[in-house]
Amino acid sequence: MQGNPAFMQQAIELATQNVITGRGGPFGAVIVRDGQVLATGANCVTASNDPTAHAEVTAIRNACTQLGSFTLTGCEIYTSCEPCPMCLAAIYWARLGAIYYGSTAAEAAAAGFDDAFLYREVALPISDRTIPTINLLPEQAISSFNAWRQYAGRIDY
Catalytic residue positions, numbered: 56
Give the integer Cα–Cα distance in Å for 146 and 39: 36
> Nearest 5°: CA angle at 64, between 90 and 21?
80
Give the integer Cα–Cα distance in Å for 72 and 68: 10
Nearest alpha-carbon partner for 4 in 27, 26, 25, 33: 33
Residue 106 identity (one-letter amino acid): A
Contact (Cβ atoms closer than 8 angstroms) between residue 43 and residue 52: no
Contact (Cβ atoms closer than 8 angstroms) between residue 53 and residue 44: yes
Distances (CA, A) of 79 to 26, 28, 44: 11, 6, 15
